[in-house]
Amino acid sequence: MEKLTIYLFTDTPFTKIPKMHTDRVTFIVDNIKKPRWAVHNEVFMLPERSWVDDRTKHVLITQGKNVDGVMFVLSDWKNGKKKINGLQPGYVSNTYDTMFVKGDNPDVAFHELKHSLDNLIRVHLGISIEKLLGIADWDDVVVHDPAHRYDFLWRLESVWGFVSEVVRQRRKYEKLNSLMKLLESLKITFNSLMLEKRKEYVTEVAKTNGEKLHESALSMLGTDASPNDTAPDELGCADSVSSVIMTVLTDFKRQVSTLELYKQIRGDKRFEAVGEPEEGAVLISPTGKGNGSMVGHTGICGKDNIIMSNDSLSGKFMENYTTETWRKRYMEKGGFPMAYFRLK
């Protein structure tokens, strides 16, 4: 079966990590100097994003899609008050998931790597790891299982076939990229034809603004809803939702912050807060209103409790959540509120 390839940057001359699980993972080790540090959030310190991007740009140029992720193993964490063993921060640098590990700790390194497997499977196979395994949450049930928290091999066999398929697809990225663009084009055309077909057989009635917003969100599925890249794809959720709203409200001001989007909508008389999800409602869990463990998110409510939002890895507007999976991640884990707003 295919093996993952991880490019490992380290500021120490020797590391145990590349010597473990060599039947599953190949590490390419590269020594680096002391990083430039910056505050990640209220809890964590991370290297400056520009410093990380410079390192991963080198990986992209020299390795391309033959590498599946980038890990930084760092011995010197600048702020002792912000203690951390490892962090998979959920952003992409030059197409790679990035992970950070303190010191020379193989257990923590492979724990963070296991976090990233669901991202790889979701982006490249278009399905969540939870659906494949029939479990509620990969992080809770497997990665953070109290008895196997640092056991990389725990339940790995059940997903490794899918991981191998991801690796094969990444190696054939150029061919797949052309195919995905074709499929995206076909999907947009199909959605447009279906809307026209409905008009032929259904008596046209005046649509509410909420219905218009819902239809606009559906038409953008599978596309980059913020092609101007006002915000990076991995932080583009507010930008994408702004694009959807602006198809209905042309004078709506674009926002790239979930907190600013929350403030703007709450102060706009054309919106009203509602207590439950409904088709076309905007859902916001604004950054700054949680416990500091993660950034917030925003999306548009669809049918059957589906939430459409920007995908941080692919940069596409997708059906990423249900109200239940959103609640578990952003309310239970992140401590955020779930604020729904209906466009009148």
Q: 48-81, pLDDT tens digit by residue?
A: 889 999 999 999 999 988 999 999 998 866 655 5
pLDDT the model gives residue 203: 47
φ, ψ at 181 (rounded to 5°): -65, -40
Query: Which residue, 107, 102, 222, 97, is CA-closest to 163?
Result: 97
pLDDT the model gives residue 196: 63
Q: Is the pLDDT of residue 343 over 90?
A: yes
The pLDDT mean for the chain works out to: 85
* DSSP conformation class of 131: H
The winner for highest mean pLDDT among 141-155, 219-233, 301-315 is 141-155
Query: Which residue, 165, 122, 132, is CA-closest to 4?
Result: 165
Per-residue confidence band for 173, with pLDDT thresholds at 50, 70 and 90: low
pLDDT the model gives residue 241: 94
Average pLDDT over residues 280-290: 94
Query: Which residue, 207, 236, 237, 253, is CA-closest to 308?
Result: 237
**Crossing angle of the two packed helices 237-246 and 258-266, in degrees rounded to 10:** 30
Average pLDDT over residues 274-282: 92
Q: Is the Cβ–Cβ distance between 279 and 306 less than 8 Å?
A: no
> Structure tokens of 90?
């959920």
* Residue recorded with tokens 């490794």: 160
Q: Cα dihedral angle (159, 163, 165, 166), rounded to 10 degrees? A: 140
Average pLDDT over residues 205-229: 83
